[in-house]
Amino acid sequence: MRAIVRDIYGDADVLHLADMPKPTIKPQEVLVRVHAAGVDRGAWHAMTGLPLIARLGFGLRRPRNRIPGLDLAGVVEAVGAEVTDFKPGDEVFGEGSSSWAEYARAKPHRLLHKPPHLTFPQAAVIPTSGATALHMLLLPTALGSSSPSSTAAGPRSPSSTTHGPDSPSPTTHGPDSPSPTTHGPDSPSSTAHGSGSPSSTGPGSPSSTVHGLGSASRVPQPPGSTPPSANDHDSSSSEAEEPGVGPWAVGGTASAGSGREVLVIGAGGGVGSFAVLLAKANGDVVTAVCSTGKVEAVRGFGAARVIDYTREPLTGSYDLIVDIAGNRSLSQLRGLLKPRGVLSIAGGEQGGRFFGGLERNLKALSVSPFLKQTLRAPIVIAKRDDLAALTSIRSPLQRTYPLEEASNAMHSLATGQIAGKVALTL
Ligand SMILES: NC(=O)c1ccc[n+]([C@@H]2O[C@H](COP(=O)([O-])OP(=O)(O)OC[C@H]3O[C@@H](n4cnc5c(N)ncnc54)[C@H](OP(=O)(O)O)[C@@H]3O)[C@@H](O)[C@H]2O)c1
């Protein structure tokens, strides 16, 4: 089968097309004919082997797993003997293993049937970035798989997709990734992607396809949940009686229409675009931070206010800060939080070469128990409940590249050219 491979760590030039054996599945796995695959920062970490500590998982001298990719969308080719949720011919999306290829393995609990209104590329970019945004925003996955209290500091519910502070690897992405800082294609659970996307430019196409946003809609309400009211923000819960605390806060009940003041730093990227879209759909008032070239796109995602960090300082006072980029100090970020506000740290690329900023996450987790503010740095693993919650918002897909142009796709991500998400198509 056709696949993107790399045999050494390096920049996007190490990626090349190769003929690889079709994967074989275990009894509890699904084989997906990949039509589109997501491109994200985790793949960049696995490609470069940075930060260096990530190589403990990816392979010390060279990548252990030759085919990158985690997110995918495609058609079920075959199922293992123990799989009952899917059958050959089903259109699915989710996280798999080595997805930048014609075929990829996936575990059923990390897949969802693809809704018809989403194209394969739109579906393929959802899992990693979308689920991360969902959990950083303390929104329960369409309900109940992870309550705000379980995502922040409490024990993981069996179906929760977020790792709490007691996780040994606060910034690792992907459940199977052995690396503490990256969500990468080298993860044994990483994925590859397929072909036939309606929006694919097709193999060999010299140019990629630019996508507009789809129609907006709200995040689905969890089964059995009480519809939020305009007064949810003034709930009579004990937390809500204190300044800066809403019913959505850690330990409370997340709800739509809460009117939270949310700051999203890094709003022009993969996680950030989903965060703005989700927060807007949830009824939050979003202030988004990005560079000059992404201001209009980020406004289009639904931000009420956009701060161009290259031209003005970050100001305001927020119930929730989703910190995705910039590696700003905890003291600066806490200064932008209300007295009982919540800081959710996703990551950031400006950390050191060895730890990549992991120290800041660890510090946040260690000081949080002593503060009124809550500092959290969850590791998010996309599961089926997350995927379901993410199918009803607009797609932030901005651009697709044919599989063989994976190095161009990665280059565009690494150089900050993309406002939103990028997908590979087959
Ligand atoms: N904890 C988890 O489970 C988890 C899951 C997924 C990803 N992550 C991490 O989250 C981070 C972001 O991932 P991603 O996929 O969204 O990456 P991405 O698509 O590359 O987006 C990062 C964004 O940050 C912006 N940015 C860069 N410097 C900035 C600064 N100083 N201030 C504000 N914005 C800045 C970039 O564009 P502009 O500078 O042009 O605005 C870019 O849009 C990565 O470190 C990744 O490893 C963590």
pLDDT digits (tens, 9 = 90+) for 200-250: 333 333 333 333 223 333 333 333 333 333 333 323 232 222 223 333 433
| CA 9 and chain centroid, separation | 23
Q: Give the separation between CA 229 and CA 286, rounded to whole angstroms.
A: 19
Predicted pLDDT at 141: 56
Taking the CA of residue 182 as reference, the ligand 1 atom at the shortest distance is 47
Q: 415 C-alpha vs ligand 1 centroid, how far in Å?
A: 12
Between the CA of 223 and the centroid of ligand 1 the distance, in Å, is 32
Structural element, H or E, at residue 271: helix 270-282
268 CA: nearest ligand 1 atom: 43
Compute the distance from residue 272 Cα to the ligand 1 centre, in Å: 7
Residue-by-residue DSSP string for 379-413: EE---HHHHHHTTTSPP-EEEEEEGGGHHHHHHHH
Q: Give the pLDDT confidence score for residue 265 in this predicted structure.
A: 98
Closest approach atom of ligand 1 to CA 128:
6
Q: How far is the CA of 77 from the centre of ligand 1 (A)?
A: 34
Quick one: pLDDT at residue 63?
93
The separation between the first and the last C-alpha atoms of the chain, rounded to the nearest angstrom, is 11
- Cβ-based neighbours of 367, under 8 Å, separated by 6 or more: 330, 375
Dihedral class, residue 240 (left if φ above 0, else alpha if ψ from -120 to 50, else beta): alpha
Task: Kindly give the distance from the C-alpha atom of residue 231 to the centroid of ligand 1, in angstroms, as a whole number.
Answer: 33
Please name every residue paired with 17 in a beta bridge, in sequence order, or none if there are none. Answer: 4
Instruction: Tell me phi and psi for residue 336, to 5 degrees.
Output: -95, 0
pLDDT at 244: 30
> CATH number of the domain at 2-145+173-212+383-425, please?
3.90.180.10
Which pLDDT tens digit goes with each residue over 303-360?
999 999 999 999 999 999 999 999 999 999 999 999 999 999 998 777 778 777 788 9
Residue in 273, 290, 307, 399 to alter for ligand 1 test, most ligand atoms within 8 A of Cβ: 290
Residue with tokens 């939080």: 337
How many other β-carbons are positioned within 10 Å of the β-carbon of residue 317?
A: 13
Ramachandran bin of 41, using left for φ above 0, alpha for ψ from -120 to 50, beta for the remaining angles: alpha
Q: How far is CA 135 from the centre of its chain?
A: 9
Residues with CB under 6 A from ligand 1: 40-41, 128-129, 132, 171, 173, 183, 265-266, 268-272, 289-291, 294, 309, 324-326, 346-349, 379-380, 413, 416
**Nearest atom of ligand 1 to the alpha carbon of 40:** 15
Among 71, 126, 132, which residue has the most ligand 1 atoms within 8 Å of its CB, making it the best to mutate?
132
Class of CATH domain 232-380:
alpha beta
Going residue by residue through the chain, which has 426 residues, state the pLDDT in tens, using 9 for 90 and above.
999 999 999 999 999 999 999 999 999 999 999 999 999 999 999 999 888 888 988 899 999 999 999 999 999 999 999 999 999 999 999 999 999 999 999 999 999 999 999 999 999 999 999 999 999 999 865 333 333 333 333 323 333 344 433 332 333 343 333 333 333 333 333 333 333 333 333 333 333 333 322 333 333 333 333 333 333 332 323 222 222 333 343 333 344 457 899 999 999 999 999 999 999 999 999 999 999 999 999 999 999 999 999 999 999 999 999 999 999 999 999 999 999 999 999 987 777 787 777 889 999 999 999 999 999 999 999 989 999 999 999 999 999 999 999 999 999 999 999 999 999 999
Q: Which residue puts its alpha carbon closest to atom 31 of ligand 1? A: 326
Token readout for 301 is 């995602």
Pick the residue whose CA is nearest to atom 25 on ligand 1: 266
Distance CA 182, CA 346 (A): 11
Determine how many CB atoms are found less than 10 A away from the CB of residue 271. 28
> In the prediction, which pLDDT does 352 show?
78
Which numbered atom of ligand 1 lies nearest the CA of 271?
16
CA atoms within 13 A on the CB side of 10: 10
Distance from residue 234's CA to the centre of ligand 1 (Å): 33
Cα separation, 28 vs 122, in Å, equals 27
- Rounded CA gap, 175 and 400, in Å? 26
> What does the pLDDT read at residue 257?
55
Domains 2-145+173-212+383-425 and 232-380 share a fold: no
Mutate to test the pocket of ligand 1, among 156, 169, 291 (most ligand atoms within 8 A of CB): 291
What is the Å distance from ligand 1's center to 145 Cα? Answer: 25
Q: How far is the CA of 273 from the centre of ligand 1 (A)?
A: 10
Phi, psi of 233 (to 5 degrees): -65, -25
For residue 154, how far is its CA from the centre of ligand 1 (angstroms)? 26
Q: Would you list the domain boundaries of the chain?
A: 2-145+173-212+383-425, 232-380
Strand 16-19 relative to strand 2-5: parallel, antiparallel, unpaired?
Answer: antiparallel
